[in-house]
Amino acid sequence: MTTSEENYLKVIYHLSLVSPKGVNTNAIAAMLDTKASSVTDMLKKLSDKELVSYQKYQGVTLTEKGFHSAKMIVRKHRLWEVFLVEKLHFSWDEVHDIAEELEHIKSESLINKLDSFLGFPDFDPHGDPIPNADGEIKKVTKLLLSEVELNKEYRCIGVKDSSSDFLKYLDKQKIALGSTFVVKEKESFDDTLLVEVNSKHITISNKIATNLYVH
Amino acid sequence: MTTSEENYLKVIYHLSLVSPKGVNTNAIAAMLDTKASSVTDMLKKLSDKELVSYQKYQGVTLTEKGFHSAKMIVRKHRLWEVFLVEKLHFSWDEVHDIAEELEHIKSESLINKLDSFLGFPDFDPHGDPIPNADGEIKKVTKLLLSEVELNKEYRCIGVKDSSSDFLKYLDKQKIALGSTFVVKEKESFDDTLLVEVNSKHITISNKIATNLYVH
DNA sequence: AATATTTTATTTGCTTTTCTAAAAATTTGT
DNA sequence: ACAAATTTTTAGAAAAGCAAATAAAATATT
């Protein structure tokens, strides 16, 4: 499979999770920063290879085979992200683009040895689950920080928004994967939270709280 | 720079070490398993980018800029090989093809952090020197095992032949980078050596001995 | 030394892959 | 049903490659 095909599959996979009955050509084009006409071309090619089922004008879905391939690409991407953050000490917001390249390295033994080297992690540094070698995905009930009960302890397991700005804000506040939160007070007027993080009290806006997953 | 351009540069670099006055089109084609006509095309392109100096029918040499780029590619390749062998426990003979892909990942901070993670190694698992971030290369006087004095201790620092068969033979004999050798006897008839390796005595043929670098 | 032959390198024309702009076709929303 | 939005088709671009024809250089022969 070419790098380009893999990128299409991965994007279709992510979009399928939101619109399982069929992914639009334009949505794919927007994600890949390309043109709808290019997408149509590629969909035909992927359809010929039986990785997607595609009828023109009707959107596209992954076949069983395509779904598995997509999960393997996601697996590689997320394992490399763990490597970059945990071993090479990159910060959250720097790893995506590099992992985007690394995910296309073609070697099954490489990725399985990397998995083992990293201790078979279940989640990546953004809190997203890492499919195992068989494509199975661990599910965890994720709560938004904005939804939790007062005075209970929660652990940060990921982010909803993974934009660079947001991740940089978190770094500045010393909030990382695994940070523990206890919400002490909730301001009913604007839903601002008073939160204890790393044994310090900080104020967290509703916008931030609706983008942090905890458990 | 594209992957293809990088591969050409790297091959020209390696061939330059042997024929510094100009590398042949056909030699490049043979190394890259492609056709001479494709090479001519690419040489024009690299020449336009001032990475090589090229006059038709006269062979090609690297410019200062091309030489530096080539060393950076070699640097990446060899650092990834160290990673694969030391951290992921691949064997000598398995790493080349994977490193061939990894060397094209474009991120300077990635490779410098990897270098640091690996402890700034000077040599790769085959004993070849790793250029540092400035392109400087550590030189070591390499001796062939066939040339050493009797009853002196030497350490294995690399191989001359890096074919899969030879590397597998070494694995079987438990000879690795860093193994210490003491040549006890040399059979004058066929130059077979009686060598103490890892405190065991083994017989090593002249063919093997002329492909092992020691120091 | 001059010519013929072989080897090496380049040019030409064409293929495949991915992408694009513009035109045409289809579906959707009101 | 018709305008708007979406999608596909068409025609053509750039990158990398190849086969066959041609050109230049190197080597052998007389």
pLDDT in tens, B167-179: 888 888 888 888 8
Q: Alpha-carbon distance A10 to A74, whole Å?
A: 7
Whether the pLDDT of residue B81 is over 90: the answer is yes
HSE-CB at B177 with a 13 A cutoff on CA atoms is 19
CA–CA min distance B114, chain A (Å) = 6
Distance A74 CA to C18 C1' (A): 23
pLDDT, average across residues B46-55: 95
Given A89, A97, A110, which is nearest B113 (Cβ)?
Answer: A89
pLDDT, average across residues B132-142: 91
Chain A interface includes B120 (CB < 8 A)? no
Neighbouring residues of A34: CB distance < 8 A, sequence distance ≥ 6: none
Chain B interface includes A120 (CB < 8 A)? no
pLDDT band at A13 (very low <50, low <70, confident <90, very high): very high
pLDDT, average across residues B187-194: 91
pLDDT band at B9 (very low <50, low <70, confident <90, very high): very high
What pLDDT, on the 0 to 100 scale, is given for residue B45?
A: 95
DSSP-assigned beta bridge partners for residue B1: none
The pairing of strands A200-204 and B153-159 is: unpaired
Q: Tell me what percent of the residues of chain B surpass a pLDDT of 90.
A: 75
Chain A interface includes B105 (CB < 8 A)? yes
pLDDT, average across residues B38-55: 96
pLDDT, average across residues A97-123: 97
What pLDDT, on the 0 to 100 scale, is given for residue A161?
A: 84
Q: In Å, how far are A100, A122, A127, B107 from A94, measured between CA atoms? A: 11, 21, 15, 11
For residue A37, count CB atoms less than 10 angstroms from its CB and return exposed for 0-12, middle for 13-18, buried for 19 or more. exposed
User: Cβ–Cβ of A90/B98 closer than 8 Å?
Assistant: no
What pLDDT, on the 0 to 100 scale, is given for residue A38?
A: 97
The pairing of strands B153-159 and B200-204 is: unpaired
Whether the pLDDT of residue A47 is over 90: the answer is yes
What pLDDT, on the 0 to 100 scale, is given for residue A127?
A: 86
- Interface size, chain A vs chain B, as Cβ–Cβ contacts under 8 Å: 37
pLDDT band at B117 (very low <50, low <70, confident <90, very high): very high
Q: Alpha-carbon distance B38 to B22, whole Å?
A: 18
| Closest residue of chain B to A98, computed from CA coordinates | B107
pLDDT band at A180 (very low <50, low <70, confident <90, very high): confident
User: Cβ–Cβ of A110/B88 closer than 8 Å?
Assistant: yes
What pLDDT, on the 0 to 100 scale, is given for residue A126?
A: 87
Helix axes A36-48, A25-32, angle to 10 degrees: 110
A window 57-96: Cβ near strand C (< 7 A): 57
CA–CA min distance B70, chain A (Å) = 20
What pLDDT, on the 0 to 100 scale, is given for residue B181?
A: 93
User: Cβ–Cβ of A107/B113 closer than 8 Å?
Assistant: no
Instruction: Report the candidate in A3, A5, A80 with the shortest Cα–Cα distance to residue A46.
Output: A5
Q: Cβ of B26 < 7 Å from strand C?
A: yes
User: Cβ–Cβ of A89/B114 closer than 8 Å?
Assistant: no
What pLDDT, on the 0 to 100 scale, is given for residue B121?
A: 96
Exposure string of A19-29, with b = 16+ CB inside 10 Å and e = fewer, is eeeebebebbb
User: Cβ–Cβ of B101/A105 closer than 8 Å?
Assistant: yes
CB < 8 Å to B107, chain A: 97-98, 101
Whether the pLDDT of residue B100 is over 90: the answer is yes
**Nucleotide D24: closest residue by CA–C1':** B57
Phi, psi of A70 (to 5 degrees): -60, -40
User: Cβ–Cβ of B98/A89 closer than 8 Å?
Assistant: no
Q: In Å, how far are A13, A45, A52 from A42, measured between CA atoms? A: 15, 5, 10
| Closest residue of chain A to B105, computed from CA coordinates | A101
Q: Alpha-carbon distance A105 to A50, whole Å?
A: 22
pLDDT 10s digits, A49-104: 999 999 999 999 999 999 999 999 999 999 999 999 999 999 988 999 999 999 99
Higher pLDDT, B139 or A28: A28
pLDDT band at A106 (very low <50, low <70, confident <90, very high): very high
